[in-house]
Amino acid sequence: MPIIDVTCGDRVGRRTRQDLAQTLPHSVSLAVECPEEPYDGDLQGGDVVLRFHDVGPIDRFELDVLIEVKSKWFPSRAGDRQRRVDDILDRAKETLPNDFHVGVYLALPVASWAEPD
């Protein structure tokens, strides 16, 4: 289950946020897919956590959009993480205006997840 945090600068309007909210869960799920956590293309509630944040008044932020993805470390994911982050960036750029400066950070921590059934 990827966790996606999107920080938006002042130029990012409601429509752009909605477009990202529509495309990122699928795009990120494709990019982080691996044998240990396969993606069948059918996202269900709870499969992806997506959160949007605004840049604060004292933040140092020189991007229009920063996409931070956290997904559990597996050897099969870690071996080609640059390709994975590039895939997320390419898909995000298709959604964003051409003049937007976007960055993507992919973290693959050693982690565990639990939630009640």
Give me the chain's average pLDDT, please.
94
3-state SS track over the chain:
CCEEEEEECCCCCHHHHHHHHHHHHHHHHHHHCECCECCCCCCCCCCCEEEEEECCCCCCCCCCEEEEEECCCCHHHHCCHHHHHHHHHHHHHHHCCCCCCEEEEEECCCCCCCCCC
Report the number of distinct structural domains present in the chain: 1
pLDDT of residue 101: 97
Has residue 77 got a pLDDT over 80?
yes
Q: Domain of 21: which CATH number?
A: 3.30.429.10
Residue 112 counted as domain residue? no
Residue 47 counted as domain residue? yes
Residue 58 counted as domain residue? yes
Residue 116 counted as domain residue? no
Has residue 16 got a pLDDT over 90?
yes
Predicted TM-score (pTM) of this structure? 0.93
Residue 113 counted as domain residue? no
- The residue segments making up the domain with residue 88 are 3-107
